[in-house]
């Protein structure tokens, strides 16, 4: 139930974020006196709407975003409206360039504000840095075999039962056998294990779905339980993917030692948030540059290949991750994922390509520069860019983005990224 709740909460957060994106366009447009005729959340058939002043507000049946109609944003849109003489000066393209730029960029700026505020809350009151005490404890745990058990794991065995786990996952074998967080595994199948590496090596030699005796030290008392390892994929020393046995455990670190350092406070948090935002922007640009190279492994993952943690995810995949984070009570990670998503959408939307806002901004500035050059040469103003000539390129971008979206959605359904492997 927590998993489903997390998915719904994350999807709702995305819808609210996108709706506020369009609200940013509308708010700035109205502030500059432009004529805004419609603001809707969703697409498709209208479920409910009302008029306030000259603007119609409402909800549509497909909750996958929203839109705002500003008269004259393109020549095509202007032709669709009956503009009175009194409203002619309120048409979008007749406004100063700086005002048009602000309106077009307002959507991305809204995403940046949302991401910054959420990140500031984390940095100030929760903390996102690694606690040195936690790092030391985690390093020390590598030399022990104390484990934390996963309630649900992703298995390559499609016929395995799922129990109370999300679709595509099964109940963790160690969890099902009654091994508790903090228990120290001392032997597997009669073979003694002394550290984490020896545990991994011993379990990897087992046969998936064949029960094995596992001895653990539980609060100073030895007990032996029967565990049925599941089949998982892992990379071997040669870089090849092979099927191995796993128990569904990870290194245990005492939860009394928090992973995240405590928040730095609201004042110091401002500077740290700017620093972290700068780092995240840098990583986002790097990720955008690497995006084409991620398509082949994403395609391979659909047909049975390993799904890398660094491959792109769709809204479906991000929502599933959000669901897992709520399921495992990882609310800080949940909020951080929203921060990353808002920053990414904000930056991506400013790329100088139609139909993104960045494409409209690029055209507006191109028109300004072209008019300035014409004036310097004593030639007449060439006027506005003919959007009809740009439609083939616009459609090509839409097809590419649509294809990429379908690819990521398919991968997120067939071979999703999960928190616990």
pLDDT in tens, 321-330: 888 888 777 7
pLDDT in tens, 136-189: 566 666 567 888 888 888 776 655 555 678 777 888 899 999 998 888 899 999
Neighbours of 44 (CB within 10 A): 11
pLDDT at 80: 46
Torsion angle defined by CA atoms of residues 344, 350, 352 and 357, in that order, rounded to the nearest 10 degrees: 120
Q: Is the pLDDT of residue 421 over 50?
A: no
176 domain residue, yes or no = yes
Name 245's bridge partners: 231
178 domain residue, yes or no = yes
State how far the Cα of 376 lies from the Cα of 369, in Å rounded to an integer: 11
149 domain residue, yes or no = yes
Q: What is the helix (H) or strand (E) element at residue 149, kind and residue range?
A: strand 147-149
* Across 121-148, average pLDDT: 70
pLDDT in tens, 4-63: 888 889 989 999 999 999 999 999 999 999 999 999 998 889 999 999 988 999 999 888
417 phi/psi in degrees, rounded to 5: -80, 135
State how far the Cα of 256 lies from the Cα of 373, in Å rounded to an integer: 67
Q: Is the pLDDT of residue 110 over 80?
A: yes
Q: Do 49 and 56 contact (CB within 8 A), yes or no?
A: yes
Domain that holds residue 204: 133-251
pLDDT at 274: 93
**104: which 2 tokens?**
């077009």
Which region, left, alpha or beta, applies to residue 261 given φ > 0 means left and ψ of -120 to 50 means alpha? beta
219 domain residue, yes or no = yes
168 domain residue, yes or no = yes
* Across 369-393, average pLDDT: 85
Using DSSP, state whether 262 is helix, strand or coil.
Answer: coil
Name the domain count of the chain: 1
Exposure string of 75-99, with b = 16+ CB inside 10 Å and e = fewer, is: eebbeeeeeeeeeeebbbbebeeeb
Angle (CA) 213-215-220 rounded to 5° is: 160
187 domain residue, yes or no = yes
pLDDT in tens, 262-299: 677 889 889 989 999 999 999 889 888 888 888 888 88
Exposure string of 359-387, with b = 16+ CB inside 10 Å and e = fewer, is: bbbbbbeebeeebeeeeeeeeeeeeebee
pLDDT in tens, 334-365: 888 999 999 999 999 999 988 889 999 999 89
Catalytic residues: 22
Neighbours of 388 (CB within 10 A): 10
Q: Do 343 and 276 contact (CB within 8 A), yes or no?
A: no
Mean pLDDT of the chain: 84
CA distances from 62 to 40, 66, 80, 227, 372 (A): 11, 9, 24, 46, 44
Q: Do 22 and 68 contact (CB within 8 A), yes or no?
A: yes
CATH number at residue 166: 2.30.42.10
**197: which 2 tokens?**
């590496």
HSE of 206, CA atoms in CB hemisphere, 13 A: 27
294 domain residue, yes or no = no
Q: What secondary structure letter does DSSP report for 124?
A: I
Exposure string of 225-256, with b = 16+ CB inside 10 Å and e = fewer, is: bebbbbbbbeeeeeeeeeebbbbbbebbbeee
236 domain residue, yes or no = yes
């Amino acid at each position: 139930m927590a998993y489903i709740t997390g998915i719904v909460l994350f999807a709702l957060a995305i819808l609210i974020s996108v709706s506020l994106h369009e609200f940013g366009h509308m708010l700035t447009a109205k502030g500059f006196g432009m004529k805004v005729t419609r603001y809707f959340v969703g697409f498709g058939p209208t479920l409910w709407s009302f008029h306030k002043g000259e603007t119609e507000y409402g909800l549509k049946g497909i909750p996958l975003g929203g839109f705002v109609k500003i008269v004259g944003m393109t020549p095509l849109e202007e032709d669709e409206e009956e503009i009175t003489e009194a409203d002619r000066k309120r048409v979008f393209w007749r406004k100063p360039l700086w005002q048009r730029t602000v309106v077009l960029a307002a959507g991305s700026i809204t995403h940046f504000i949302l991401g910054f505020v959420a990140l500031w809350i984390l940095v100030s009151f929760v903390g996102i840095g690694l606690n040195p005490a936690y790092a030391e404890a985690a390093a020390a745990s590598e030399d022990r075999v104390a484990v934390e058990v996963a309630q649900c794991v992703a298995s390559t065995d499609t016929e395995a039962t799922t129990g109370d786990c999300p679709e595509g996952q099964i109940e963790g074998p160690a969890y099902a056998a009654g091994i508790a967080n903090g228990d120290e595994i001392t032997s597997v199948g009669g073979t003694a294990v002394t550290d984490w590496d020896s545990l991994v090596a011993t379990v990897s030699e087992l046969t998936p779905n064949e029960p094995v005796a596992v001895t653990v030290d539980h609060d100073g008392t030895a007990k032996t339980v029967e565990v049925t390892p599941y089949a998982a994929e892992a990379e071997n020393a040669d870089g090849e993917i092979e099927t191995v046995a796993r128990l569904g455990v990870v290194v245990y670190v005492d939860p009394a030692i928090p992973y995240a350092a405590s928040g730095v406070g609201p004042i110091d948090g401002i500077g740290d948030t700017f620093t972290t935002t700068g780092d995240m922007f840098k990583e986002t640009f790097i990720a955008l540059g690497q995006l084409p190279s991620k398509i082949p492994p994403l395609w391979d993952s659909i047909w049975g290949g390993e799904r890398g943690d660094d491959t792109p995810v769709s809204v479906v995949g991000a929502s599933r991750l959000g669901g897992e984070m709520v399921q495992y009570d990882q609310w800080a990670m949940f909020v951080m994922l929203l921060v990353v998503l808002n920053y990414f959408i904000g930056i991506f939307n400013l790329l100088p390509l139609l139909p993104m806002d960045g494409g409209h901004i690029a055209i507006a500035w191109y028109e300004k520069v072209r008019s300035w050059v014409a004036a310097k040469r004593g030639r007449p103003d060439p006027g506005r860019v003919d959007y009809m000539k740009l439609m083939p390129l616009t459609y090509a971008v839409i097809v590419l983005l649509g294809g990429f979206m379908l690819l990521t959605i398919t991968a997120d359904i067939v071979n999703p990224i999960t928190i616990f492997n």
